[in-house]
Chain A
Amino acid sequence: MITLLAALMLCSCRSGPRASAPAPSTIGPDGLPATAWTGGPEPCFDDGVPPEALSHAPVPYEPVNSWQPPGLERPWPYDEYLRDGGDREGPVAVSPDWQVEGLDLEDTVAHYDALDGRTLVEPSNRVHIYAPRFGAVRSVTTQLASEQIDQPIGVKLREQLVHHDDVEQATTSLQREQARGDVGTKIASAYRTRQGDGAVSNTLLSFSFQDAFLPFENLQVIKLGLHHQAEKARLAEATQAAIIWTGDQAVQVLLDGRSAVEMAKDERTEVVYTDIDLRVPQLRIIKVASTQTALPGETIDFTLRFDNVGTQPLGNIVIIDSLTTRLEYVVESAQSSRKAEFSNQRNEGESLILRWEISDPLEPGEGGIVRFRCRVR
């Protein structure tokens, strides 16, 4: 009976079938040979613990969307993309002699003249093209053969100090004698007065101009040359006073017996007439590329669309595209839908600055297209 009970207990304590190691299938997934199986690392480590990077079975990870750290500008990472268009760093400006200042690599802008004579600059949008390029750094070193460091033979330790000087504690101290009484300060029994000189002193004003504004000059238009609306009344009052008090009534002096010549003058303050043109100049320029990804050696077509979205004609329209270093202009690929003069010049990135000068003015609502082709370096 006891033997039977013991046998039952042993049977109940037995676990299920032992988990056997999965045998590698003879035919791998998708028809690969059975040898195409690597598995995890063998426990050849002394403590039997594989490194952390290999201890976890890798799970194929396929991000649904392009991952990027939060808070950064898309697209990310920046070093895998080529950028072209926009106004990258300092704003582009055009000097009166038509010199373009501040044109950086990747910039695409158009400048034009408005009816009021201003030269305005309008940047395009920016185009991003995924085109990573790789490089390599090689280092060649010589190996020291047949040498091995088994274990450190010794270490250098700092010797312990045998003796060090202590600051001995003072055993006695001298007690300063306590003051037995206060020394009082006598109150002054008499005042010293400064006696006047008995005469009237007069400070003479300087005859030269003082480098300070007088009270009635406390106006923005006087101090800074800026006309402020709130000062209009005071300014009118001041100018009226100037008219009244600065008008010469008659000649007061004779010089060398000659009579002064009468001079007629305009006593009014200066009047400025402003002609406000309500028509707004505005050019819109849009840039698009033929592809979003490119390998070195492939070509990309770029199209620039420009439109007069303002309410006045625009003249002297010039479209400028400074190509980035890795974009190489394909010769004779520039096109324009409007009559234009095309030219190019080398930029600091060993690429080209493309330039279209649109010959005719652009009326409101009109537009055009320029195209060119680049090869990715």
Chain B
Amino acid sequence: MVQNHRNPASACPRRRVNVARSMAMAFLVSLGAALPLSAQSPKVHYRFDGTEPPGAIGRERLQRGGPLPGYFQPVEIRAPKGAQISLAVQGDFDEPRSTPIEVGLLIAPVYRLRVSNIPLYEGQEVYPTIEIIDRLYPPDGERRRFPIPIQLTEDDLQLALDGKFVTRVIYIEDPNLALPVAERAEDQDWFEVGPRVNPLEEADRWGRPVAIVRMGGRLPDIDEGPDDCFLHGSPPFTVFRPRVQIETIPKGLEARGVSRPRQSTARGVTVR
């Protein structure tokens, strides 16, 4: 394997034990599978596979230009009810938070999470990563209303605990290819591809990939705790305070003079 010290995934040679091997194997297998199909000649040449090291695709995306560097893309992380999520802060994980949580993540850095208190798997933890590779362009003032939903499903967490490696590519659906089904806020439409199919390419076929979630595989050092390579440098993020739900007041109470509570004007706080 070529030593590339500028790549955070390969910066710590002692750490890249299993994942690098499996990624390289999967890449070679997918490449070999694609060679006989070269006669079908896809119109787009995909440089990256879904099994690229975390951070590689986002860094390449930044080089294409646009208002991407330094933009904190709102992201809503959802997990099964009861599960708690911690983000990497200053070389360690911060306090667990109940989901859903809304944070602003930079494009290209890799964010390591710790999912704990998983239903039916209490005492076990999963350490997924989130890599934002593109952003949204909402109208002014509507940024927080349209976050990228990152869904850590119970099925994904269970697969990760069973030793599988789960890659989930989130994309913005092309309106011309939209499925005529209603989407619920708590249940994102998704489909599964086989092991020899590039999930990034498949997501690009149906829309515009914006985020990659990987889970399974690497675990922090039991004795010394998570090191900085495991946390990918603990990149900065923005914490959005949760919105206050407007409670509906019965008409009887409103008539008695009970005022309707105002919706909080939550604002983002940059965490450095």
Contacts and interface: CB of A to CB of B under 8 A. Distances in A.
A29 B269 contact: yes
Interface stretch (B34-42, B138-146, B255-263): B138-146
Nearest to A24: B90
Contacts of A37: 89-90, 271-272
Interface in A25-57: 28-30, 32-33, 35-42, 44-47, 49-54, 56
Residue among A60, A139, A351 having the largest count of chain B Cβ atoms under 10 Å: A139
Interface stretch (B119-127, B171-179, B243-251): B171-179
Contacts of B270: 29, 60
A79 interface: yes
Chain B: number of interface residues, binned into ranges? 35 or more
Nearest to B147: A134
A35 B180 contact: no
A144 to B, nearest CB: 5
A67 interface: yes
A148 interface: yes
Interface string B83-102: 00000111110110000000
A135 interface: yes
Contacts of A40: 233
Interface in B167-195: 167-175, 178-185, 188-195
Interface in A111-165: 130, 132-152
Interface of B: 1, 5-8, 11-12, 16-22, 24-26, 50-51, 55, 58-59, 62, 66-67, 69-72, 88-92, 94-95, 106, 108-109, 136-140, 142, 145-146, 148-149, 151, 156, 159, 163-175, 178-185, 188-195, 197, 199, 202-203, 206-208, 210, 216-217, 227-229, 232-237, 239, 269-272
B172 A39 contact: no
19 contacts: A29-B269, A35-B94, A38-B237, A45-B5, A47-B6, A53-B109, A54-B8, A61-B71, A132-B173, A133-B172, A134-B148, A134-B149, A135-B207, A139-B50, A148-B17, A149-B20, A324-B175, A351-B180, A377-B183
A33 B92 CA distance: 14
A325 B178 CA distance: 7
A134 B171 contact: yes
Given A139-B199, A328-B182, A293 B142 contact: yes
A240 interface: no
B17 A141 contact: no
Listed from nearest, the 5 A-B pairs whose CB atoms lie closest are: A41-B233, A350-B180, A136-B190, A61-B70, A139-B199
Contacts of A45: 5-6, 8, 11
Interface stretch (A80-88, A92-100, A172-180, A272-280): A80-88
Contacts, number: 278
A368 interface: no
A253 to B, nearest CB: 76
B18 A147 contact: yes
A134 B22 CA distance: 29
Nearest to B204: A137
Given A51-B6, A377-B178, A38 B272 contact: yes
B169 A80 contact: no
Contact of B192 (A139, A151, A293, A296): A139
A65 B190 contact: no
Contacts of A213: none
A242 to B, nearest CB: 60
Nearest to A375: B182
Given A35-B90, A53-B59, 5 more contacts: A38-B236, A54-B8, A60-B70, A79-B207, A325-B175
Nearest to A377: B182
Contact of A151 (B1, B183, B269): B1
A3 interface: no
Given A42-B233, A58-B69, A130-B146, A136 B228 contact: no
B229 A44 contact: yes
A232 to B, nearest CB: 53
A135 B90 contact: no
Given A47-B5, A58-B70, A134-B148, A142 B164 contact: yes
A65 B138 CA distance: 10
B234 A32 contact: no
Contacts of A54: 8, 109, 233, 235
